[in-house]
Amino acid sequence: MSRRRKIRLRYKKERVVFSDVLPYELPIICSNRYFYRYRFLIKYGVYAQREKDGGFVARWRADIPDGIRGVLAVLFQVNYSELLGKTECKLKQATIPFTYSIRHKPSKARRLAVMHPADQIKVVEFYDNYKDTIVYLCSRSRFSIRRPQKVASYFFYKDRLHHILLGKKMDSVEMFFNEYENLKTFFSYKDYTNVYKFYEHYRYQRAEKKFSHLLRLDIQTCFESIYTHSIAWAINGGVDSYKDTFRGKDGSIGAVWDSLMQGMNYLETNGIIIGPEFSRLFAEVILQYVDQRVEQELLLKHEYRHKVDYECYRYVDDYFFFYNNEEVKGKAVCLLEDFLKEFKLSLSQEKMHEMERPFITNITRAKLEIDPLIQEYIRLHQDAIISRDPMSSEEDDTDDDADTAISEQPDDFLGRVDADKVKKCLESKVFFKLRATEFNAKFKAICERNGVASKDVANYTIACIASKIEKSLKAFDRIYKPLAFAKAGRSSKSSVCDEDLERKLQRMEKMLSSYLYEAIDVLFFIYSGNKRVNTSLKVFQALNHIIVYLDNHYQVGKKKDGELVMRFSEYAREFVFKKIHDEIALLFSYDPIDSRLQLETLYFLIILRSLNRKYRLSSSELGRYLGLGGSAPFSELNAIALIVLLYYMGNNSEFTSLKKELIQGMKVKYKSTPEVRRRKMAEFAILTLDLATCPFVERDDKLHFLQEMGLTPTEANEACYLLEKQKFMFTKWTGVNVTKELSAKISQEVYS
């Protein structure tokens, strides 16, 4: 086994834009990976620095190409001529964030925001100056169970495993990668990245032993209600203390943070942008102070001690208050309401729930019943476990649900499969028992029996199914693969009849394709009750497991000079892939695009793009979904929707007419927004630079959009040439490894 090498990641300051400034709910093709490192910030030495007057100045290397000055002009909302011969410029104080809506509840949407790229650069400087102070300010509360505790590690391990996880094809069924030079957040967090981990932890169960009652509280519209000035109050001992000592702009972290949050939200003081981790840190500092005051007052005024008379835990804006005495609860709630009111916040009366021991909700009960249902149906049943595939890199495993590890193996698996192994696989009795109608009926019965809506458990159920599908495929492959290698003549199969081998492979192939067909039906049935971005991602993940497994053959040896061992017939792939197409087409047909909610369904265009063209949505199907000529013309679509549509259409001639309409809609979108406002808007800055890199947009159209952002024809041509050469800015248009990008996305799901 080769030795693992520990590699220190460079550019640790700039990585903030990669981890903390974007909402999680963006398509997998959209990220700051190239803006951060490969194409812009690092390459051209672009950074921001705060001046004494409180403003920011952007700086860059002196030897940048002329075309980059055009990019800087778009990003920093200045004229190209102002940048000639210079290495810095004053940044605008106020920008307009790009806001878009996602489905939060069946009848309620949530507005998320992408801050302007210029503000993202400012955030890098803020983190660099105040990272230690932020950690300290988030360490004052004993209630908080999700808080930054230190700057995250700058290391990754580079070895064959690393390359495997980066998406290199392997002989085995390795479809879920854990690394992509991907950092979840700038800070590492204590204690729980997901609230459900708290429910399962000893701390929760210990509290249940000590206390007979639990009160769950939630802050009403927390992020929308936060007053930006309140950050300075929280840092400086409260409203009165701060106002008594305030002497104007003092350069403190509170004043700087307040100004920064206002600037990225067009000088709005009531509410902060929702989505980025940066905003959650802002809220955390404020609530840390509230927590601290509540605990102090309970002790000093009422002699109620934390961990003795009560226990209180807060996960972002959700409180869990354990108690025995009603008087303790009453005093605590009153104090919490008073201190929240000081910061213009309040508790949600609708989300206030009291529970008596045992602390279990209807949703939890439903999940406990769903787990064995999935275990029974979404797995490979077999009479004997095939302990290890000698051609695979998986460790020995006696349970098809057990976690598997990747071991180091030579790149060229030139050895033959043992004949005994082939015989054992040939004689094994394996089967799937999934029937979608039966599973769906039982799932509905569980929801009905526990008094929960399917939407309440849909995300959990689909995530579990996705995981089980992956494990089922691995278990299936441990039997199928030796037989496939035997058929290809890579085993000493003297005792194996060719006819028996062929029949076994055909039966297994038919069995697998039927199972996957039914599993896809289940996934979309459950998804239909909860069409949210997070749920779309989970379905996306499950579909990707299926596609990757069916659409690749076994590769023996190195890619250039190796050979392929065939896996599955075209019939099996067509049977399953057509089912994927049909379900997505049905989704698009009965759920037309909403002018407010444009992401959830469009996500599926990315997975369809990874399939053969004959399984994709046709131009007419997509046109009907978009309601061309109706109430949702292209000009009303947001930047994300436009980018996903362009990515899906690509250079496919079938979409030539539709793409022309799309481009024309974009031009209307630009013209309908006054130029002075357009240049301040994050949406137009991001969309313009992405369009300039897009290989699916004509050069004349690219120049048009760049000129709409204030560049002259000559300046636009220079910028366009350079951007085309660099290929990507915020969107990866080509060469998308769906598995790799999806895994990187899911690994960033640090808040739930």
pLDDT in tens, 157-184: 444 444 444 444 433 333 333 334 455 6
Cis peptide before 358 (omega within 30 of 0): yes
Report d(CA 381, CA 379) in Å as an integer.
6
Q: Per-residue pLDDT for 110 more than 60?
A: yes
The total of other beta-carbon atoms located within 10 Å of residue 700's CB is: 8
Dump pLDDT digits (tens) for 248-299. 567 889 999 999 999 999 999 999 999 999 999 999 999 999 999 999 999 9
Quote the CA–CA distance of 404 and 184 in Å, as a whole number. 23
The pLDDT > 90 percentage for the chain reads: 62
SS3 label, residue 96: strand
Distance of CA 90 to the CA centre of its chain: 33
What does the mean pLDDT of the chain come to? 85
Find residue 213's DSSP bridge partners.
323, 356
CA angle 369, 372, 373 (to 5 degrees): 80
Q: Is 9 strand, coil or helix?
A: coil
| pLDDT value of residue 749 | 67
Could you read off the pLDDT of 637-657 as tens digits, one per residue?
A: 899 999 999 999 999 999 999
Does the pLDDT of residue 560 top 70, yes or no? no
d(CA 513, CA 511): 6
By three-state DSSP, how is residue 555 classified? strand
| Exposure of 72 in the CB half-sphere (CA atoms within 13 A) | 29
Mean pLDDT throughout 50-73?
A: 93
Whose CA is closest to 544, among 746, 367, 750, 694? 746
What are the DSSP calls for 375-428, one per residue?
HHHSS-EESS-----TTS-BPP-S-TTS---BPP--S---SPBPHHHHHHHHH-
Amino acid at 700: D
Residue 397 and residue 404 in contact, taking contact as beta carbons nearer than 8 Å: yes
Query: What is the three-class DSSP state of 557?
Result: coil
Q: What is the pLDDT of residues 499-516, one digit of tens each?
A: 888 999 999 999 999 999
Q: Are 343 and 272 in contact (CB under 8 A)?
A: no
527-to-105, 537, 735 alpha-carbon distances in Å: 13, 11, 29
Q: Please write the tens of the pLDDT for every residue from 680-707.
A: 999 999 999 999 999 999 999 999 999 9
Total residues found in the chain within this entry:
752
DSSP 3-state assignment of 282? Answer: helix
For residues 634 and 664, is the Cβ–Cβ distance under 8 A? yes
Residue of 284, 290, 281 whose CA lies nearest to 238:
290
Residues 6+ apart with CB under 8 A from 121: 17, 41, 46, 47, 48, 58
CB 649 within 8 A of CB 658: yes
**Does the model's pTM come out above 0.85?**
yes
Q: Assign 275 to helix, strand or coil.
A: coil
